[in-house]
Chain A
Amino acid sequence: MDARTRILARVQRALRGRPKALLPEHPHTPLAEDPVDLLLRRLRENGAEAQRLPREEAKAFAQRLAEGLPGAAFGKTLPQDLRPPLPELPPEEAPLGVSWALFAVAETGSVALSSEDGRKAQLLPPTHLVLVEAKRVYGTLLEALQDLNELPAALGLHSGPSKSADIGQVMVKGVHGPGRLVVVVLE
């Protein structure tokens, strides 16, 4: 008998004749305020920079953020017109990573990044610019998770800059991931 058989047999023996607990339903608690407003507020509370901009202004914003940089790493699903006009650098060397988020969640202040967009650009550069469409902003995490039909190989929820308080309880940013997270919601 292998480990699998033995473990499952022991679980079945343990549960024989035991009362079974019921699985509760998910509650329905819709948001009282505009999800984009809440998203921006929560992202800022989490230590990120966040704004809502029309597409044209978002382009100009991304260009300003990229000014003077030697290059950037780009997400694969980022629309061409939103790319700052910079040479593309490998994420290991790029001072800036620009990603296209699959969706965002207002109540937790999070952007969701798919492995289809590429993970290195989301993690290696010290500054991370994330663009997300206003229509992809969910009020609650439950709504977002229930709406996902197909899951990518990996989904990362990012809710602020990388941080740690492991050294003497002092908060330090940019420990391994980006120390600066900038989110733009496209109207």
Chain B
Amino acid sequence: MRAKAKLYPKEAARLLREKPGVREAVTGATLHFERNRLKAYAEVPIEEWRERAKAVKDHVLTHLDHYLELAERRLRENGVQVHWAETPEDAHRVLREVVHRRGVKRAVKAKSMLTEELGVNPLLESLGVEVYETDLGEYLIQLLGEPPSHIVGPAIHLSLGEIQKLFHARFGTPLDASPEALAQVARRVLREAFLSAELGLSGANFLVAETGTLALMENEGNIRLSTSLPKVHVAFVGIEKLLPRFADLALFLPLTARAATGQRLATFVSLIQGPAREGEEGPEEVHVVLVDHGRTALLHDLEAWETLRCLRCGACLNACPVYRQTGGHPYGYVYSGPIGAVLDPGLLGLEEAYPLPYASTLCGACYEACPVKIPIPRLLLTWRHRAAEEGLTPSWEHGAMRAFRKVMESPALYRLFSKGLRGLPLPQDLLPLLRAWTEGRGPLRPSPKPFHELWKEVADGR
């Protein structure tokens, strides 16, 4: 996917102006996820779980070469064909070969953020393959031609009304059709696709090195179907997705489910070793594509490598007061919200993702939610610091910060300015900063009295 992260603040402001319904839908959905997460965390010794999960991931990342080679060996022993992809082009080559060799005309696909990174759908379409997203939310946005706006709930920015309109135009369902009726239509279309597709595509939540097991989590059953019915299954796995031991799944599956949706476990978990065995139903071929695409560079980054612990649960998105205003689209890349703000610069380079580290209030809610304790607030500051060092921040900002410092260091100057600014009519339309603020919000109104006067009154009255 081409990154449009540079447009972040403009796109966010435009969305707030032009599509106020998105804020309502996203806030509703994220608060719902967030409440469920809090309840699910409270049920278990969550601090102990988070510490242990962090330790396991740090172990695997600091021994990554060993575990990658072990996973490759186990996968091959299980009859899986293993491929390595440094770039999207490498991944495309694997797919192109499968499509030509097996005469693939139709593919069913499980939701996967990595395949968004790799641009799998456009590639398949260019090869004449019909691709069906089979996660219901992902199917909705595929019909609309939009990218996902949330890591686990790709269509949370859509209201029921919008989906009713979409299905009316596409399938002729009534404009007031119930969610059940709409889901039944999608079920019918996708069932036909499952039964006729020659190729099933997926990502992976985890790859266990010890046993070569692919672990996939979902609630609908579409992943189980996509990896069971077509004769070929291709899974794209980021190299950071490894777990050392099979029994580590006992921690990571429930922890991810609790963080993502507040469930004790996802409704369906697929633990896949390889192709179907003698006399069994299932795929004849299973391929695993181990993908780098910027991950080794991030591992090399001593200040930011911990980002690679990410489980893609979306908990930080739900907890984030900034993400809740707009959903994921304005972030302009696959990963949005707080994790996107620190992962995208790591994967794309800071220049491509420049404004994203500023898309946060630094309130720390993302860190509290993170199941593997990624220090997102600290990483945001790291990327901001680098942006300043690399001269990516605008030049007026340096001057403004110097002036601000002068004023804040001198009580006399501070009083003078706070009084002076209060007396003036605010030139709302003149200063670019104020204009950016008021475009999406009400006008700035200073309090009638400055804080130090109010404080004095309180102190004197006591």
Within 8 Å CB of B250, what residues of A? 26, 140-142, 144-146
**Contact segment of A50-58, A81-89, A105-113, A129-137:** A105-113
Annotate A142-165 by CB proximity to B: 1 below 8 A, 0 otherwise.
101110100111111111111111
A-B contact count (CB 8 A): 232
Q: Do residues A176 and B191 form an inter-chain contact, with CB atoms below 8 A?
A: yes
Whole-angstrom distance between the Cβ of A107 and the nearest chain B Cβ: 7
Minimal Cβ-Cβ distance residue in A for B269: A157
Residue of B nearest to A161 (CB): B267
The 8 Å CB contact of A156, one of B55, B211, B270, B290, is B270
A110 to B305, CA, bound (A): 35
Which of these binds chain A: B276-284, B321-329, B438-446?
B276-284
Contact A167 to B68, CB < 8 A, known contacts A22-B55, A115-B282, A119-B282: no
> For residue B119, which residues in chain A have a CB less than 8 angstroms away from its CB?
none
Say yes or no: is B69 at the interface (Cβ < 8 Å to chain A). Answer: yes
Q: Which residues of B contact A145 (CB under 8 A)?
A: 246-247, 249-250
The answer to whether A166 touches B270, judged by C-beta atoms less than 8 angstroms apart, is no
Are B220 and A120 in touch, CB under 8 angstroms? Answer: no
**Within the assembled complex, what's the spacing in Å between the Cα atoms of A120 and B239?**
31
Task: Let me know if B264 and A21 touch, CB within 8 A.
Answer: no
Q: In the complex, which residues 56-72 of chain B have their Cβ closer than 8 Å to any Cβ of chain A?
A: 56, 58-59, 61-65, 68-69
A11-B64, A20-B62, A167-B160 as given contacts; A154 in contact with B270, CB under 8 Å: yes
Range, interface on chain B = 35 or more
Chain B residues positioned under 8 Å from A152 (CB to CB): 273, 277
CB distance from A17 to the nearest CB of B (A): 10
Determine the residue in chain A with the shortest Cβ distance to B301.
A14
Chain A interfacial positions (CB closer than 8 Å to B): 2-4, 6-8, 10-15, 18-24, 26-27, 42, 46, 92, 107-110, 115-116, 118-120, 122-123, 140-142, 144-146, 148, 151-170, 172, 174-178
Pick 18 A–B contacts, CB within 8 A, sort by A: A3-B86, A3-B292, A14-B300, A21-B59, A24-B56, A24-B59, A26-B251, A108-B265, A123-B224, A140-B250, A151-B246, A153-B272, A153-B277, A154-B227, A159-B268, A160-B267, A162-B221, A167-B182
